[in-house]
């Protein structure tokens, strides 16, 4: 494999970077390995990742307990091929030439584990579809 091969990069964005975007980034990293560069950020990051989200991800074998919310930067968007927004509205910067996907998902903030599980499962399903799309589009695929 050539060292100048560019792997696709995906940025997950939500308001607090404490739930949906953390789950999306974790599933993409977990399921795609190092084939895809993964980032996540929030327009108004929380102090910590939602504990119910950490617990829900642990149930499916994905440990995000060491993650922390990160602030959304213009550079993160500029460096990404695909930007997946999850309820950040107009706070997400727009750059021509980027692929934007807006995933409408319930916000897990303030929700218990029972409410977070279906959100987690829907994100996992969408991530599997995204990986299949990116692999099909990749010159390496």
Q: What are the catalytic residues?
A: 14, 88, 92
CB contact set of 57 (below 8 Å; sequence gap of 6+): 23, 26, 63, 64, 120
DSSP state of 13: E
Q: How far apart are CA 14 and CA 92, in angstroms?
A: 9
In the beta sheet, which residues pair with residue 90? none
> Is residue 64 within 8 Å of 53, Cβ to Cβ?
yes
């Amino acid at each position: 494999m050539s060292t100048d091969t560019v792997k696709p990069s995906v940025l997950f964005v939500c308001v607090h970077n404490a739930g949906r975007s953390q789950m999306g980034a974790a599933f993409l990293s977990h399921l795609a390995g190092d084939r895809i560069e993964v980032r996540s950020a929030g327009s108004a990051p929380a102090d910590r990742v939602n504990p119910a989200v950490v617990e829900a991800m642990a149930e499916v074998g994905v440990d995000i307990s060491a993650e922390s919310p990160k602030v959304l930067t213009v550079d993160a968007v500029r460096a990404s091929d695909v930007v997946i927004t999850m309820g950040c509205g107009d706070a997400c910067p727009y750059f021509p030439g980027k692929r934007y996907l807006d995933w409408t998902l319930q916000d897990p903030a303030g929700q218990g584990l029972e409410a977070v599980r279906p959100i987690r499962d829907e994100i996992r399903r969408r991530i599997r579809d995204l990986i299949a799309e990116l692999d099909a589009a990749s010159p390496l695929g």
